[in-house]
Amino acid sequence: MECCGVLGGSCHALGVQLHRMSTLDLFEDMPPAEEAGQSTIAPGAMLLHGFSLACDAELLQAIEEVLKQAPLRHMVTPGGFTMSVAMSNCGGLGWVSDSSGYRYSERDPLSGQAWPTMPVCCLELAQRAAAQSGYQEFQPTACLINEYVPGAKLSLHQDKDELNFSAPIVSMSLGLPATFLFGTTQRKDRPKRHRLNHGDVVVWGGPSRLAYHGVAPLADGVHPILGHRRLNLTFRCVG
Ligand SMILES: [Mn+2]
């Protein structure tokens, strides 16, 4: 079940040259010792520090392959706004937004084809993160891929386009750090702010499944692997 990839090859779609990584680069990505482990950010919501670090190269290569088939694109909200976050999907279902609303679709509207298969290393890592957070037998059917560039943000919202609220949501952060806003199920409650670093995974379910959450505008910076970007993979069981 371990998915530690070999550091080889290059990710052209992501502009990543993984073969340039050295052992030193890997250690630079390690969180300081006091941040290791996991913390509860709300009832039923865990932040797993550095959980995906051991297989970040394999994850990124797998996502590169997905994005060759289903490129990142800026979707339009039902209200007519173009989202600052670029998105794509893999898995049986993909989240889409257009003038007619938000929904899950079996097909990529750009190509008319099924979304790419969810890579096994991504699926297994999501399942391990869920189990580590107390959610056994997580079976995600959708993986949304979000790309943030400096300034991109996601306003406070609930994830409620799924039919199944008993399954948790698993969210993996790669690249530039972000400020994650995580509140309660009440919009009026001010959300807490959590820094998400490359390799961090957040899992929320149970009493926090419908918590309001969002991402503050991404600060500029340079990540050693992803440059001026942050990638976020979000795994959901839709129905
Ligand atoms: Mn969300």
Q: What are the residue ranges spanned by the domains of the chain? A: 38-236
- Output the pLDDT for position 34: 40
Q: Give the list of residues 6+ apart from residue 188 with CB closer than 8 angstroms, or none.
A: none
Distance 142 CA to ligand 1 centre (A): 13
The tally of CA atoms less than 13 A away on the side-chain side of residue 44 is 17
- Output the pLDDT for position 31: 46
Contact 72, 108 (CB under 8 A): no
Distance 94 CA to ligand 1 centre (A): 14
- Output the pLDDT for position 9: 39
Q: Which CATH architecture has domain 38-236?
A: Sandwich (2.60)
Distance 213 CA to ligand 1 centre (A): 6
Helices (H) and strands (E) in the chain, counts: 3, 13
* Ranges of the chain with pLDDT below 50: 1-13, 15-24, 30-35
- Output the pLDDT for position 4: 39
- Output the pLDDT for position 5: 38
- Output the pLDDT for position 6: 35
CB atoms within 5 A of ion ligand 1 belong to 159
SS3 category, 18 = helix
- Output the pLDDT for position 239: 84
Nearest to 143 by CA among 92, 213, 181, 83: 92
Distance 211 CA to ligand 1 centre (A): 9
Query: How many beta carbons lie within 10 A of that of residue 96, not counting itself?
Result: 22
Distance 93 CA to ligand 1 centre (A): 16
DSSP classification of residue 190: P
- Output the pLDDT for position 14: 53
CA pair distance 165, 182, nearest whole angstrom: 17
Q: Give the list of residues 6+ apart from residue 36 with CB closer than 8 angstroms, or none.
A: 49, 50
- Output the pLDDT for position 22: 43
Element (H, E) at 130: helix 120-132
